[in-house]
Amino acid sequence: MGYYGQDFSSNRRKIKEKKKGNLRIPRQMVRNIMKQKLKHGTLKHGKTLLKLDYNNSYPDEIVACFQDGTKAKFDLLVGADGIKSRTLDEYYKLIEEPRPPLSYLKIFLVLGISPYIHPLTTERGFYTLDGTSRLFTMPFWGNYCMWQLSFRVEDEEEAVKLKNASSSFKKQQVLLRVKGWHEPIEDLIQSTPLDTIWGTALMDKIPQPLHYKTKSNACFTNKPFLPIVLLGDAMHPMSPFKGQGANQALKDGPLLASWLCKSVLSTALKNYERVMCAKCTPKVLASRYAAEFLHSPSVLQSNKKDIQFVGYKDGDFMNYLKILEEKNIKAELGSKLDDAVNAAILNEESFK
């Protein structure tokens, strides 16, 4: 498909030699690729879920009522509608129980897509941290660069206000936090169009099964079995700092399908949730820990002996890092960083 998804661009450049790297394309493109595998007429757009109806006289059926006045009956309703899942809201209304709350992680994230071109953002990305804020960049859609700045906001009400603020205000908040940071960060953000900038407070939730009893939860033993199940962020929202949110959502689908092929519906849903919760809970907790660690002074005081890099023998990287520090080769070199590192490698026997 092309390095970093560049073959999807109408003005793509030809890649003459094979390169290694991740394929990074917009998730809308991923959706379009998957849609091509579906039977014609499977997808119906323009529907907003208003509520769910359940009739005890028809225990194997759930009715979805849409905002446009139409209805649809389902043998199984799968809610894949994100962290604000309307499906989950309606499920808890039907069983007359409060929906479990989300956990605010005290982190706010602003994202933008910039056309700014720089050696540190061309077919590569970088991280910069200061103990409170963390910037992450990666190539996106040809020569564009996607950046994320995440930073601590202790008060949830303040985070809500920032989320509702304009893109211009969010951009100014980002620029205030990265003032004086190394090249090309300020120029990268300054050049970002406002219509690509958005932000949100980060939340997560430990996944809780809907259909079977656990030791810690009597779990609605007197409630009817509802043919409703969740996957992705609707079931296990997590912070992005371990890169596992979309991965786990994509794994949920085949897992659910495999159990539906093996068992009757009620058993299949119980087993799906049991396996999915066991797999995703550690991912949620690891992402929660990463959110705290990456935005705390601890990240600047971490023991460098614990750092591991793929492709280096144990201890080798620390020797390389020491040499670079002695030669004052740091991120502040910006566009000159590659040349400085290459020169150090050529001149130091220990690099060879």
Q: How far is CA 115 from CA 2, 106, 336, in A?
A: 19, 30, 20
Give residue 57's pLDDT: 66
325 or 190, higher pLDDT: 190
Examine residue 30 and state whether it is found in any structural domain, yes or no: yes
Query: Band of the pLDDT at 344, cuts 50, 70, 90?
Result: confident
Give residue 41's pLDDT: 87
Cα 200 from Cα 153, distance rounded (Å):
11
Tell whether the model's pLDDT for residue 257 goes beyond 70.
yes
Q: How far apart are the first and last CA of the chain?
A: 35
**Is residue 185 located within the same domain as residue 57?**
no
β-sheet with 71-74: strand ranges across = 49-53, 62-66, 71-74
**Is residue 223 located within the same domain as residue 91?**
yes
173, 204, 235: which is the final residue of a domain? 204
193 or 215, higher pLDDT: 193
**Is residue 229 located within the same domain as residue 116?**
no
Q: Contact at 8 Å (CB) between 228 and 87?
A: yes
Examine residue 301 and state whether it is found in any structural domain, yes or no: no
Examine residue 56 and state whether it is found in any structural domain, yes or no: yes
Q: Using DSSP, state whether 107 is helix, strand or coil.
A: strand
Tally of domains in the chain: 4
DSSP type of residue 2: -
Q: Which domain does 269 fall in, by range?
A: 44-102+205-294
Strands 228-230 and 77-79: parallel
Examine residue 31 and state whether it is found in any structural domain, yes or no: yes
Examine residue 179 and state whether it is found in any structural domain, yes or no: yes
Q: Using DSSP, state whether 165 is helix, strand or coil.
A: coil
| Cis bond before residue 240 (omega within 30° of 0) | no
**Is residue 72 located within the same domain as residue 212?**
yes
Tell whether the model's pLDDT for residue 336 goes beyond 80.
yes
**Is residue 171 located within the same domain as residue 233?**
no
Residues 58-92 have pLDDT tens digits of: 667 899 999 999 999 999 999 999 999 999 999 99
185, 204, 223: which is the final residue of a domain? 204
Q: How far is CA 327 from CA 187, 318, 341, in A?
A: 26, 14, 10
Query: Band of the pLDDT at 341, cuts 50, 70, 90?
Result: confident
Residues 10-59 have pLDDT tens digits of: 444 444 444 555 566 777 888 888 899 999 888 888 899 999 998 776 66
Task: Supply the DSSP string of 130-154, one letter for each residue.
Answer: -SSEEEEEEEETTTEEEEEEEEE--
Q: Contact at 8 Å (CB) between 234 and 79?
A: yes
Looking at residue 133, which CATH number applies to its domain?
Answer: 3.30.9.30
Looking at residue 276, which CATH number applies to its domain?
Answer: 3.50.50.60
**Is residue 74 located within the same domain as residue 211?**
yes
